[in-house]
Amino acid sequence: MSLLIKGGKIVTATDAYDADIYCENETITRIAPALDAKDLPPDTEIIDAAGKYVFPGFIDPHVHIHLPFMGTNAIDDHASASRAALAGGTTSIIEMICPGPTDEPMDAFNEWKSKADELAAVDYSFHMSVVRFDESARQQFRRIVEDEGIPSFKVFLAYKGALDLSDEDLFAMLTMAKELGVIVTAHCENAEAIDSMQKRLLAEGKTGPEWHEPSRPISVEADGVHHLATMAGLTGAHIYTVHTSCEPAVRAAVDARLRGVNVWIEAVLPHLLLDKTAAEKPDFEGAKYVMSPPLRERQHQDVLWAGLAGRAISTIGTDHAPFNFNGQKDMGKDAFTKIPNGIPSIQERPVMVYTHGVCAGRIDLHTFVDACSTQAARLFGMYPRKGDIRVGSDADLVVWDPDYAGTISKETSLSAVDYNAFEGWKVWGRASVVTVRGEVQARDGAFVGTIGRGRLIPREATHF
């Protein structure tokens, strides 16, 4: 079936103009003012976008859906996560594959892919975590890049003894990434320092969620960024610092960029809007807000927003990691180190960035599109198929109603998690119609699409 979106204002990372969009065979085939429906096939679906914006489908470059972690598993599957993503306007996701250190990388890739193949309603790809780097693993990573179209790795400079790599393996992995044109996404902290500080705090009887942030302070994150950037500078690898939470970490990345290191910076929604007082809520409610790196002092939010406005920070993701408060987060009642990490926000990201970024005057509409869609497509080898509105691009489109006003609530969330970190927050604007490859998948916050319609996105290695 063909689709016509009529009367809207198209807004991309660089342009804004009034035009209609015609989509056929899953792609955008015509963009022009006042396309006449009489000239189109009689079964064309027509969407009236008068008074609304039309954005390229949003891309979340950092999500966890199938996630075994701390003795439990994230509560979403690809069906619930897709419904939530689409209701908010996100049409493509990149999920982190997180195997254990004894798992075979190819087995892990096939496991994660099978979960998405069955249930995803969004288009999807993966970052392949590197938690061991022996010769067998190296050959498997090479096949995953070259044969499966997954040109991005994930590395942890945290979680001592579980996910972290030795410096020898980190250097070798970055060297191979440069050879293959792979970008390396990285959780930047200092695993040794965190381990020592956690042990000291627990020995002092400081066990509640409010002690999570003091166990991994801003200096630990900045040190991780600096360490990774040093290795990247030596190897020529291209790196991407995920969930960058604070001014010293941003500064470390920007300083490295000025030295010629190929580094890009990601912010995530929780760090833009929530501060460390959320994790200090009484009666263990603060556990809902435990993530790593932790929520910081409020002044760091201004740095992140300014970095986005100036395009020093490239993308906004979520680090969506949905663990129930009851039955999962409360595994850590006796020790904050046992609280599954994560603040779910796969549905809320676009509207919260629009409300607290665009409407608040912190960023303009073009930066909103760039940070929530276009830059992810460019950095991760999907552009211009994804992340733009142009003839030949996938018909992933968001018709956005700027006049809507509402309230965030667990009751309107389509994620399976049992709480909403932004409960009661007021929002302006929302995704009115969301299409994936020309098919309407969501309307006015409701999923109306097809579970299992999502496809693996073929991506190109471009970071040589």
CB-based contacts of 421, cutoff 8 Å, min separation 6: 270, 274, 278, 288, 289, 343, 344, 345
Distance of CA 14 to the CA centre of its chain: 22
CA atoms within 13 A on the CB side of 39: 5
CB-based contacts of 308, cutoff 8 Å, min separation 6: 267, 316, 357, 362, 363, 367, 371
Q: What is the pLDDT of residue 396?
A: 98
Domains annotated for the chain, with CATH where assigned, are 57-379 (3.20.20.140)
Q: What is the pLDDT of residue 113?
A: 98
CA distance linking residue 59 with residue 396, whole number of Å? 10
304-336: pLDDT as tens digits = 999 999 999 999 999 999 999 999 999 999 999
410-464: pLDDT as tens digits = 999 999 999 999 999 999 999 999 999 999 999 999 999 999 999 999 999 999 9
CA distance linking residue 375 with residue 340, whole number of Å? 30
Q: What is the pLDDT of residue 161?
A: 61
Q: What is the pLDDT of residue 160?
A: 64
pTM, entire model: 0.97
Low-confidence ranges of the chain (pLDDT < 50): none
Q: What is the pLDDT of residue 37?
A: 81
